[in-house]
Amino acid sequence: MSRSATMSDVFLLTKHFYDTAARFSSKPALMEKKNGVYRSMTYQEMKERVEQVAAYLLSHGLAHQDRVALLAENRPEWPIADMAIISSGLVNVPIYPTLTAHQLLYILNDSGARAIVVSKPAQLQKIVAIHHDCPQLKLVIVMDPPETLPEMRNIEVVSLHSVLTEGEKLLNQEGRAKLDERLNHAHESHRVSIVYTSGTTGDPKGVMLSHRNFASNARGAVKALGFDSSQTSLSFLPLSHVLERVVNYALQFCGATIAYAESIDTIAQNLQEVHPSAFVAVPRVFEKIYNRIIQNIETEKPLKKKIFYWALEVGKQAAVYTSRGKPIPSGLSFKHKIADKLVFTKIREKTGGNLKFAVSGGAPLMRELAEFFFAVGINIYEGYGLTETSPVICCNRPGAAKFGYVGLPIEDVEVKIAPDGEILARGPNIMEGYYNKPEATREAIDEEGWFHTGDIGEIDSEGYLKITDRKKEIIVMSNGKNVAPQPIENVLKTSPYIEQAVMLGNNQKYMAALIHPSLDMLDQYAREHKISVSSHKELLTHPEIHGFLEKEIHRMMADFARYEQVKKFALIEEELTQDNGFLTPTLKYKRRLINEHFAKTIDGLFAEGSRV
C-alpha cells in the first residue's frame, strides 16, 4: 500500500525534502536513461549529493541569499543542484537552456549571480563568450565537463564530480556545521528563487519566490491531485518552468519517483520504458498527440474508422460522468467496456499502459482535447497560474473536473474577478515582487495583496474558473469590437489539417489568420484528389488546396460571431517553434515577432481592395 504525503504546515522546502529522504531513504527518487537503460537514484543517494554540493558552495564564501544560476536540461543533477542551493540559504536563478548567450548575460547581470551550474560544454561555451561582461560571476560548475576546462579570468571552473568529492570531505570537517547552521536559519519568508519570465516582449522580469510560495503551492497540488509515494512521473517540461518545478517538489515531498525523458522528441519511447502514472505538459504536447492519433485513424479502412469514432462518442458520453466522479449508467457502461477493449486500451498502451492522469498548464487547453483524452481513459487535469503565483491558482482534480474550465482554487488561494473582467488572486503563493523593479511590483500587486494576472475570466456558480483570454492579447478591431484570439485559434487547431493558427486583426475591419497546416494531411488530401505538386511550397499555393482549407475554416467558424470569424488567411510552410524564435520556452506565440517576420504577408491580407 502506498504511503500518502504528510506535508506539515511548515512551509520550508528544505524541511520537506529532508523529511522525505529520511522516510523513503531506499526508494527510487530520480531516474535517468544512461547507455540505453533507465537507472535510478534513491532518496538517500540524492540527499548525500545535495549535501555535498551545498557544502562546496558554502566553502566559497557565498553569503546568505546570494544568487546561483542553474543552466541545464532536465536531469537528476537539476533537482540536486536546486536543493543544494536552497539548503545553503542561497537563491536559485533557473535559466532555460535554449536561451542565447546574449539573453543569458542579461539574467546573470540583473540577478547579480555569483555562481552558475551548467550542464554540458555547449552551455559552458555561452559563459565563455560573455564572462568578460559578468564581473560578479566567480564560480562555474560543469555537470559534463569537456576534456579540458576553459580558463576564465577571475572565475573558477570546476567539474561537478570534483564538487561532490570535495563536498564529501568538507562534510567530514567544518562543512557539516556550516550547512546545519544555514538549514536551521531557514525561514519560510526567505527567498529561494528568482525566476525570469519568458515574456513575449521586452526584457524578462525576475520573479522573487520564497519557501512559503513554493511549499504552500506544492502542498496544495498534493491535496488537489492526490499524489502519493506509489507514483512515477515522466518529466520533460523544462524544470526552469515553474509548473514542472513545483510538481517535482510535490512528487518528491510525498516520496514519488521522477524519471527524466531524454528529450521532447523521445517522449513516446520513454513512456513505453518508464510506464509513468502521471506527467505534466503544455497543451501543444497534447495537441500533437491528438493530431497524430486522428491522422493515423484517417488513413485506416472505413470499418476501422467507423469503430473508432463510435467508440470515441461512447467515451465522451461516459466522460460526462467520470470527470465528475459519478458512476456510468449501466447501459452506457456496457458499451463503454466494449469501446475500451476495442479502441481505448490500444491508445493507452502507447503511453506505457499505467498512466492515471496528466496535468496541463502554461496555456489554455482546448475543451475538445480534454474531452477526447478523458474519453479514451487518459484524464487530463487542466490548471491555471503564472510564474508570479508559484504557479498554481486553480486546477481541476479527480472526481471534480469540468471541461472548458481550469478548476477550483487550490488550498488557501482566493480568486475574484475585477470589474473589467481581469482575474485577481491572493494567497501564500503570491510572489514577493519583481527583482529590482519596485514600480512593476506595485502595478502587479495592489494594496490589499491581490495579484493582477493580466488574464480575463469568469467564475461560474460552482466556483470554477474559466479563462477567456489574455488582457494584453485582446485584438481591438477598427470598429471597436474586442476579439479574444485564443478561443478561435484553439478551435481552428482541432482540424486535422491545421497545426497552428495565429489570429490577426488589430485596427482592421475584419479578422484574418496565419495558418501552418498539417503538411502530412495535405499531402494525403492531394494524393486522394489527384492534385499534382512537386513541393510543399507548390502545395500551399495550389488553388484547390486553398479552396479546401477555406471551406474547412468556414465550417469551424460557425459558433463565432460574424465579426470574430476568419475572413482571410495565409498559409505558412514554416512551423512556429522555439528554435526559430516564434515560441517562448513555454510554447506560447511571440506575437510581436510573428507580426514583424510575416509583415509583408499580413499586409497583403489587409490590403485595400483585396477580396474578403
Closest C-alpha to 400, from 414, 385, 390, 410: 410
Residue 220, Cβ neighbours under 10 Å: how many?
25
Q: Hey, what's the cell of 557?
A: 467558424
Q: Are 570 and 605 in contact (CB under 8 A)?
A: yes
For the chain, how far is it from start to end, CA to CA, in angstroms?
Answer: 64
13-186 topology per CATH: Rossmann fold (3.40.50)
Q: Hey, what's the cell of 159?
A: 567539474
Sequence ranges of the chain with CATH classification 3.40.50.980: 13-186
Helix or strand (DSSP H, E) at 546:
helix 543-556
Where residue 404 falls (left for φ over 0; alpha for ψ -120 to 50; beta otherwise) is left
Q: What is the pLDDT of residue 610?
A: 56
CA 194 to chain centre: 17
d(CA 82, CA 432): 19
Q: Does residue 11 register a pLDDT over 80?
A: yes
d(CA 62, CA 86): 12
Q: Reduce the DSSP state of residue 28 to 3 states and report it.
A: strand
* Distances 284 to 168, 291, 403, 520 between C-alpha atoms, Å: 43, 10, 17, 18
* DSSP letters spanning 178-218: HHHHHHHH--TTSEEEEEE---SSSS--EEEEEHHHHHHHH
Q: Does residue 585 register a pLDDT over 90?
A: no
Q: What is the pLDDT of residue 612?
A: 44
User: For residue range 373-400, what is the model confidence (pLDDT) as tens digits?
Assistant: 999 999 999 999 999 999 999 999 999 9
Give φ, ψ of 138 to 5 degrees: -125, -15
Q: Does residue 191 register a pLDDT over 80?
A: yes
Q: Does residue 609 register a pLDDT over 60?
A: no
Closest C-alpha to 258, from 268, 270, 269: 270
Q: What is the pLDDT of residue 529?
A: 94
Mean pLDDT of 29-34: 97
| Cβ neighbourhood burial of 434 (10 Å; 0-12, 13-18, 19+) | buried
Residue type, 137: L
* DSSP letters spanning 428-486: TTS-SEETT-HHHHHHHB-TTS-EEEEEEEEE-TTS-EEEEEEGGG-EE-TTS-EE-HH
For 279, what's the count of Cα atoms within 13 Å in the CB-facing half-sphere? 26
Q: What is the pLDDT of residue 80?
A: 98
Q: What is the pLDDT of residue 362?
A: 81
Q: Does residue 2 register a pLDDT over 50?
A: no
Q: Does residue 200 register a pLDDT over 60?
A: no
CA angle 78-84-85, nearest 5°?
A: 90
For the domain made up of 474-605, the CATH class stated in words is alpha beta
Highest mean pLDDT out of 195-204, 437-446, 555-564: 437-446
Residue 432, Cβ neighbours under 10 Å: how many?
17
pLDDT band at 472 (very low <50, low <70, confident <90, very high): confident
Sequence ranges of the chain with CATH classification 3.30.300.30: 474-605
Q: What is the pLDDT of residue 199?
A: 54
pLDDT band at 4 (very low <50, low <70, confident <90, very high): very low
Q: Which residues contact 146 (CB under 8 A, 6 or more apart)?
A: 121, 124
* DSSP letters spanning 126-154: HHHHHGGG-TT--EEEESS--SSPPPBTT
Task: Give 585 or 221, the one with higher predicted confidence.
Answer: 221
**Angle formed by the axes of helices 160-171 and 175-185, nearest 10°:** 90
For 240, what's the count of Cα atoms within 13 Å in the CB-facing half-sphere? 21
Q: What is the pLDDT of residue 5?
A: 41
pLDDT band at 364 (very low <50, low <70, confident <90, very high): confident
Mean pLDDT of 491-498: 93
d(CA 108, CA 155): 14
Percent of the chain with pLDDT over 70: 97
Mean pLDDT of 527-547: 94
d(CA 228, CA 180): 29
Mean pLDDT of 489-501: 94
Q: Are 396 and 381 in contact (CB under 8 A)?
A: yes
Mean pLDDT of 517-523: 94
* DSSP letters spanning 323-369: TTT-PPPHHHHHHHHHHIIIIIHHHHHTTTS---EEEE-SSPPPHHH
Mean pLDDT of the chain, nearest integer: 93
Q: Does residue 255 register a pLDDT over 50?
A: yes
Q: What is the pLDDT of residue 1?
A: 31
Q: Based on DSSP, count helices (H) and strands (E) in the chain, helices before strands.
A: 22, 26
d(CA 597, CA 586): 20
Residue 289 DSSP code: H
Residue type, 551: K
Mean pLDDT of 467-491: 84
d(CA 228, CA 225): 9
Q: Which residues contact 44 (CB under 8 A, 6 or more apart)?
A: 21, 25, 26
Closest C-alpha to 455, from 442, 441, 444: 444
User: For residue range 108-149, what is the model confidence (pLDDT) as tens digits?
Assistant: 999 999 999 999 999 999 999 999 999 999 999 999 999 999
User: For residue range 287-342, what is the model confidence (pLDDT) as tens digits?
Assistant: 889 988 998 998 899 999 999 999 999 999 999 999 999 999 999 999 999 999 99
Q: Which residue shows C-alpha cell 536552497? A: 86
